[in-house]
Amino acid sequence: MIALDGVTKIYPGGVAALAGVSLRVRPGELAAIVGPSGSGKSTMLHVIGTLDRPTAGTVRIDGHDVADLGDANLSALRADRIGFVFQQFHLAGGTSALDNVADGLLYTGLRQSHRRRRAAEALERVGLGSRLTHEPHELSGGEKQRVAIARAVAGQPALLLADEPTGALDSVAGAGVMNLLRELNSEGTTVVIITHDRSIADSLPRQVRMLDGHVVEDSARRRTEASA
Ligand code: ADP
Ligand code: MG
């Protein structure tokens, strides 16, 4: 699903946010990315999510070499195959939960009634069937993140990328969001989660640790070496 080879990302000013990262994530995996602030976690997620192109190295997502795709095809790949969830939800204020999710399906070209029907299904799936008309300011943090997850998965992406999805939530709401992400993974979605929370990371099947733009530890690699 994800194949990074020798990926570097150098920001203007010369910061090497990624300094030669190679990583494989297979379809159906559920992986945690951990590491201190500034270690390159968000940059790696942006590169995996095709929001950002690498400075050097190869990025293949769902069989596509990102370097072979122009911006329009890259946007189409992203819209079709990848969902994003962020710490701060990024919902549109003054807009109902239903339309926040339905507007995420604009790229599909479906008419509004169909988009809304799919949005309602996604919101029911995350347990918010009774909150369709609520606006973000009428929802708790945990509910807002569920709306964001519904928006991310309404288009049935193969890959879900989450950057500190529980970072702004209390522990009960955070646990609810994590259960939901696990459930989506068990239904087949590949899920990659950046987290600062040690107990969350340890509860996931795989941990990838970053430091100074490098992957310094990968529990999957350790297992492979142990069995070799
Ligand atoms: P993390 O998510 O692990 O905290 P980031 O990927 O956000 O790390 O950042 C890695 C490094 O790249 C940091 O030194 C950060 O300051 C730098 N960086 C991140 N985004 C930008 C940007 N848009 N422009 C310049 N430098 C950036
Ligand atoms: Mg970050």
State mean pLDDT over 80-94.
96
Topology of domain 29-41+82-227, CATH: Rossmann fold (3.40.50)
Q: Identify which ligand lies nearest to the alpha carbon of 213.
A: 1
Do the beta carbons of residue 11 and residue 55 sit within 8 Å?
no
* CA 215 remoteness from chain centre: 18
Q: Identify which ligand lies nearest to the alpha carbon of 86.
A: 2
Give me the DSSP letters along 82-127: EEEEETT--PPTTS-HHHHHHHTTGGGT--HHHHHHHHHHHHHHTT
pLDDT of 228: 62
pLDDT higher than threshold 90 for residue 227 = no
Query: Is residue 42 within 6 Å of ligand 1 at its C-beta?
Result: yes
| The residue type at 121 | E
Do the beta carbons of residue 192 and residue 2 sit within 8 Å?
yes
How crowded is residue 204: how many other Cβ atoms within 10 Å of its Cβ?
Answer: 22
Q: Domain map of the chain by residue range?
A: 29-41+82-227
The model's pTM is: 0.95
- Taking Cα atoms as reference points, which of 69, 78, 161, 156 lies closest to residue 119? 156
Copy the structure tokens of residue 4.
């990074």
Q: Identify which ligand lies nearest to the alpha carbon of 12.
A: 1
How far is the centre of ligand 2, averaged over its atoms, from the C-alpha of 191 (Å)? 17
Give the model confidence (pLDDT) of 155-207 as tens digits.
999 999 999 999 999 999 999 999 999 999 999 999 999 999 999 999 999 99
Query: Is residue 195 within 6 Å of ligand 1 at its C-beta?
Result: no
Do the beta carbons of residue 176 and residue 142 sit within 8 Å?
yes
Query: Is residue 167 within 6 Å of ligand 1 at its C-beta?
Result: no
Copy the structure tokens of residue 60.
């293949």
Query: Is residue 9 within 6 Å of ligand 1 at its C-beta?
Result: no
Give the model confidence (pLDDT) of 181-195 as tens digits.
999 999 999 999 999
How far is the centre of ligand 2, averaged over its atoms, from the C-alpha of 182 (Å)? 21
